[in-house]
Structures are given as C-alpha cells and as structure tokens.
Amino acid sequence: MTPRTRLKTWSDSPFEAVTPLAEVAARGVVIAEENGESQVLYESAEHPGWLVKLYRPGLATEPVQVLDRLIALPAEMPPADLALVDRSLCWPVSRVMDGERAAGVVLAKAPPEFRVEMRMISGASVHRLMDIDQLVQTDLDFYAKRGWATPTPQERLAVARNLAAVGVLLERYDIVYGDWSYANALWARGTGEIFLIDMDSCGLTDRLWVESKFWNDPAVPSGSRLSVHTDRYKLAVLVLRCLTGLRGPEPAAAHAALPADVRGGPLGEILWTAVTTGDPSRRPPMSELHALLASTPGFEPAQPAQPATAAAPSLDTRPPSVISVAASLGPAPYGSSSPSSLGRASVPENPHPSTGEPARARPSARPDQGRAGIDAEHAPAGSLLPLVIALFVAALALLAVAGLATSLFS
C-alpha cells in the first residue's frame, strides 16, 4: 500500500486565485456556523480536504487586495519558507466570489496528525482537533480524564519553538497575524508540530484590531491597528503559556513559573522584555526568540507560582490587593463590556434553591436534585453553615475596608 502523502496546504491547491462560489457551494461536512467572523465553514463536497469559509456579510475586513497578496505570496518564497507554509500554516489559497462580492476564502483542512481521540464525560471517545487550549494546563487530571498522556517538557518546548518559527516567517514577510490565542493553533502530540489557522485575516504591515482579553497588548490602546510589535507580545505570551501550562490573565505569572535557570537566562529575559516593556518597539524580533528556544534543552516547568510581586515592572501600577477588591465591591455597573461584580457578597442563610409548587408563597425547600449525578449543593444546610458564616464575615471585612460597611445596616 502506498503511504498517504500529506497535503501541502498551499502548494497542493487545485484552485485558481479566485474561485466562483458556485464551484465550491456544495457542502460536505459543516465544521462551524456563525463562528466569529465566519457565517459558515465547511469542507467542499467537490474538493475534499479543502475548506470553504464564507464571511458574515458586512463584516469589517482588510481590503481584498491584502487577501490577494497573501494568496499569491508563497509563490515568491524560497523552498524552505514554502515548506514551512505547506506544513504549518492554514494559508488562504483562493478568494471566493459571489458575483461581485468577495464572499470568502478557501483553505486547507488541518492534517490528520493534529487530531486525537478524546474521552468525554460519558466515557465515549470522539475524534477532535488538538488546539493549544489543551496544552495550557497544569492539572494532570485534565489529561488523565481525557485519556491523554501528560505533555512532556520536550513536547512543550517543541510546540513553542515551532510557533516561534512560524512567527519568524510571518515577520519576515511583514505579515501581521494578530490573533495568537488558545484556539488558533493546533499541535501534534509527540512531535510538537503546529498548525496555525485563520491565516486569511492577516494584515500586511498592520491589521484590524482583534479583541481577545487575555492576549491584548497592554501597551497598545484597544481598537488600534495591530502590528508586528503586538504580534511579538502575543507570541511571547503564547510561548510562556505553552512552556509552563499556566493559564490566567497575567503573563508575569507564567514567566514566574519557568524553571529558575531558564527564567534568569537569555530566554527568560527576552520573554520578560516582550511581555512587560511599555515600549512595543523594544520587543525583540521573533528570530531572537526562536533562536533561544531552538538552543534550549528540555526542562521541567516549575510549579505554578503566585503572580509576580510589585517589584516586577508592570504597566498597571495599582496595588492589586486593595483596588481590585474595592472595584469588586463598588458601584461599578454590570455591562457587556465592563468588568463587574456583586457589590456585596450576598450569602443567603439558606443557600438552596426554592422548588415550590405553583401558586404558593415562596418556599425555602431543599433543592430539587434533578437527575444530575453531580449536584453537590444539596447537602444539609447545617453542614454549610460554617462556610456561609465565613463568607459573610469575609464580605463584611472587605466592605469595611472599602468603607461601605455602614450601607448594610443603615
């Protein structure tokens, strides 16, 4: 039997630079609908192995000339760069036209090595893509429950190195990716090979802002056009998270989780500069990051550390332990875009939900367990009383600090 040849994501494209929608309208498997920028993403029934992404009408995008330039660019690349594109990038290969309207794009389907069997809650296994979201974990149980081996330090390093290699290529051609995140890169178990998706929304020199709160460059105003400098920040954050498995809003915490010799060495320094400098132009080029990753032997990540102390440089100079607590108790409104909280930690004496019969006064019955096997909150109220009291006392103490305690008793 002849071994199946892996599809080259750009070089094996059977499409012209522009494809009429009618040629790819027949849908095979629908991958996603109403997902982010796309109205639908499906495998072409006429061209298996190739995906058609149709954009939401009216969505702000880069000018069509940018997409056309991206599509054409690999033809100008030297063999080594083209090989990296074909192996690790879901590069746009054709612009889809619906009459005069640019309707979408054709891209290669992710190669099979980026798929794994995953054990679900029911015990059944599903075949799914392995994205960085699954790599950035420190809970070993997370992998065990899913039937996966825990990622090794060598795997983590390989993923980080391969991500940086892609970053180097993009920077070389002044391509701004912008959307480095948990969801946009796949990785292969064992080899650490990566596959970067959503390449069709790249910009040249700069691109539209993409909102992704745990990845946003703090040195750049929200809504700004993104650049290679913001990509350097985001890739550095991604590398830190891949190396350490540490999630959370603060890259400094992931940096603190690096092994001491790495943290204090040139790799740690370059990563620290990339994620903390207030001057984006000071962020080192990706080639430097890649070179250091390539020369770093395998290591064991340190245990997840507490967030960096105030001594570490930070763009946010507010003392966190007081201000953020006060903010969570203050009158800041809830809303779709602003952080919010309760205003006070309201802890009912009877924490269990009412399950009253219709047309009665509001009862305070025990919770209805329903049919889940996981409802832990229906323990008798007495066993929760110490916790309730502790939470209430804590809330009062915090209110006192914020100067709001009198409002409860006035």
Q: Residue 151: what are its φ and ψ, rounded to 5°?
A: -60, 135
**Residue 14, CB half-sphere, CA atoms under 13 Å: how many?**
10
Instruction: List Cβ neighbours of 228 (8 Å cut-off, separation of 6 or more).
Output: 171, 174, 176, 205
Least separation in angstroms between CB 403 and other proteins: 14
Q: CA-CA distance, 298 to 110, in Å (whole number)?
A: 27
Stretch that binds other proteins, among 81-89, 166-174, 247-255, 288-296 (CB under 8 A): 247-255
Least separation in angstroms between CB 385 and other proteins: 14
Among 26, 140, 315, 397, binds other proteins (CB under 8 A): 397
Q: CA-CA distance, 131 to 162, in Å (whole number)?
A: 14
Among 325, 381, 404, 405, binds other proteins (CB under 8 A): 325
Q: CA-CA distance, 159 to 189, in Å (whole number)?
A: 9
**Which residues inside 336-355 make contact with other proteins, applying CB under 8 A?**
336-337, 339-348, 351-355
Q: CA-CA distance, 290 to 195, in Å (whole number)?
A: 16
The 17-56 site mask, x for binding other proteins (CB under 8 A), equals: ----------------xxxx--------------------
**Is 373 one of the binding residues for other proteins (CB under 8 A)?**
yes
Stretch that binds other proteins, among 12-20, 21-29, 87-95, 364-372 (CB under 8 A): 364-372
Residue nearer to other proteins on the CB measure, 65 or 309: 309
**Is 16 one of the binding residues for other proteins (CB under 8 A)?**
no
Count helices and strands in the chain by DSSP H and E runs:
14, 14
Q: CA-CA distance, 259 to 302, in Å (whole number)?
A: 5
**Which residues inside 104-163 make contact with other proteins, applying CB under 8 A?**
118, 120-122, 126, 128, 133-134, 136-137, 139, 141-142, 145
The site that binds other proteins (CB under 8 A) totals a number of residues, namely 79
The 284-313 site mask, x for binding other proteins (CB under 8 A), equals: ----------------------xx------
Residue nearer to other proteins on the CB measure, 86 or 198: 198
Find out whether 97 and 20 touch, Cβ atoms under 8 Å.
Answer: yes
Residue nearer to other proteins on the CB measure, 169 or 395: 395
End-to-end Cα spacing for the chain: 83
Residue nearer to other proteins on the CB measure, 102 or 345: 345
Single out the residue of 104, 120, 83 nearest to residue 31, CA to CA. Answer: 104
